[in-house]
Amino acid sequence: MIQRNNSADGNGARARSAMSTLTNSQASDLGPTLSGQGRPDPAGIGKKTRTKVVAASFIGNFVEWFDYAVYGYLAVTITAVFFPDSDPATGLMLTFALFAISFLVRPLGGFVWGHLGDKIGRREALSWSILIMSAATFCIALIPSYNTIGIWAPILLLIIRVVQGFSASGEYAGASAFLVEYAPANRRGLYAAVVPASTATGLLLGSLLAALLTGMLEPEQMQSWGWRLPFLLAAPMGLIGRYIRTKLEDSPVFKELAKEDNAVKAPVSSLFKNHWRQLVQAVGAVLLNAVGFYLILSYMPTHLSQNIGLSETASYVATTVALATYIGFIFVVGMLSDRFGRKKVLMSASILFVVLTVPSFMLLETGNFLVVVLVQILLGAMLSLNDGTLPSFLAEMFPTRVRYSGFAVSFNLSNALFGGTAPFVATVLIASSGTDLAPGWYLMGAAVISLVAVAFSVETSKKPLS
């Protein structure tokens, strides 16, 4: 346990101890202000250091979600490449089943990366996770088609996506914890919003490339080589991200914890023993984000082209426009959560989804391009209220000694059960119910559960990092 001393001498000693762990340039910028619990206030960190932290956190999640975007947006083409003998509906379900199966390993990855991040440091864990993830994404582009090697094609795709799922499970949580621990106390929401903004930017580039490729290439060209091009980009982007991360130091609060030798030997065990209530609340709070993110920002182009009747290019363009506005919403929401609190913003998101999701899916059925774009912008704005607040909310829920583990386990468990399976569940629900509104009802149910979970949690925006 961390020893706490409220005396002036105790605080001064700890402040001097924290100062000694920083680089000379950082220490010169750092005043005597404390953020609570004897930890140094990260508001005094130099601008150059903070810029590097933001860049390092951005690029890893960008690469991760660029891959997921490409896979989701090119699902129809991937189905033709890896499941050519299946009828379109069955093949699409198999493609999304592979997408979902790769998420089943994410809780395991959350345990591993969370343990490493809390034990040896955020920087080291993030540096390895981006390397493994980008290498696996690059390998997808090298898999021969089903017509070339038969059943081994989808088997190899599954193996590589499992590796991706394992490595990616440390990205979102680690980057969020890193940013929150470096951010000024009154701007943690804004800084943490960089993480969902980076995921949306990855989705945006994936959507742009999908629209460009499907618009310029014939279906035969797409199935032969066009679909491979986006996955090849992962290698150089991943190497750049790893290089930036290796040049950083760990956050001041983690370095202080390590200096005091108070890091627990088994962070995940401590998490379940001492913080299980926060863990349950966190899993519930993530549920809306997990389902909403994949239905609205990943599955939607497939839904629009396969069920609503829009062309593939029009579906990608509509999603691209919505994503561009979504990125702007994210940063606004981050500032709102700093001003009004995490709970109010998260609960507002859940209430809006309960009320407006099904009517929004009804409007999508008109098939009118302008209506589709406006509805996607609306759904994106609603989701941004959740997505732009969740990273700071989850990071603040857990103390430094188990922050990475708590975030990684809760986020990846909810995403494994409900996020990665969302496109598959939506496809099955539509096929079994016969209505294109089924994904809307599913999303509304997720919003109800998240609303309850957040309502029973405590406000975290004004709490000092412990």
The radius of gyration computed from the CA coordinates of the chain, to the nearest angstrom, equals 22
List alpha helices for 30-151, DSSP H.
47-73, 75-82, 88-104, 106-119, 122-140, 146-149
Cα 187 to the center of its chain, rounded Å: 20
Rounded (10°) angle between helices 234-246 and 122-140: 170
Residues 6+ apart with CB under 8 A from 365: 308, 436, 437
Cα 161 to the center of its chain, rounded Å: 16
Residue 24 has a pLDDT of 39
Alpha-carbon distance of 209 to 202, in angstroms, equals: 11
Structural contact between residues 307 and 427, judged by C-beta atoms closer than 8 angstroms: no
Which DSSP category does 34 fall into? E
Least confident residue range of 16-25, 57-66, 148-157, 164-173: 16-25
Compute φ and ψ for 456, nearest 5 degrees.
Answer: -90, 0
Whether 25 has a pLDDT exceeding 60, the answer reads no
The pLDDT-based confidence of 296 (bands split at 50, 70, 90) is confident
What is the pTM assigned to this prediction? 0.77
Residue bearing the bigger pLDDT, 382 or 98: 382
The pLDDT of 341-354, averaged and rounded, is 96
The pLDDT-based confidence of 343 (bands split at 50, 70, 90) is very high
The pLDDT of 431-446, averaged and rounded, is 90
Residue 244 has a pLDDT of 81
Structural contact between residues 407 and 114, judged by C-beta atoms closer than 8 angstroms: yes
Alpha-carbon distance of 210 to 301, in angstroms, equals: 10
Residue in this structure with the two tokens 């290698």, named with its chain if needed: 235
Residues 6+ apart with CB under 8 A from 375: 360, 363, 364
The pLDDT-based confidence of 7 (bands split at 50, 70, 90) is very low
Structural contact between residues 392 and 176, judged by C-beta atoms closer than 8 angstroms: yes
Tokens representing residue 175 in the block = 């980057």
Distances (CA, A) of 184 to 34, 47, 187, 192, 431: 11, 12, 5, 11, 49
Structural contact between residues 410 and 210, judged by C-beta atoms closer than 8 angstroms: no
Tokens representing residue 435 in the block = 């209505």
Tokens representing residue 264 in the block = 């627990």
Whether 197 has a pLDDT exceeding 60, the answer reads yes
Mean pLDDT (the chain, rounded): 82
Residue bearing the bigger pLDDT, 456 or 272: 456
Q: What is the DSSP string of 290-321?
A: HHHHHIIIIIHHHHIIIII---HHHHHHHHHH
List alpha helices for 365-437, DSSP H.
369-387, 390-397, 403-414, 422-433
Residue 359 has a pLDDT of 94
Residue 324 has a pLDDT of 86
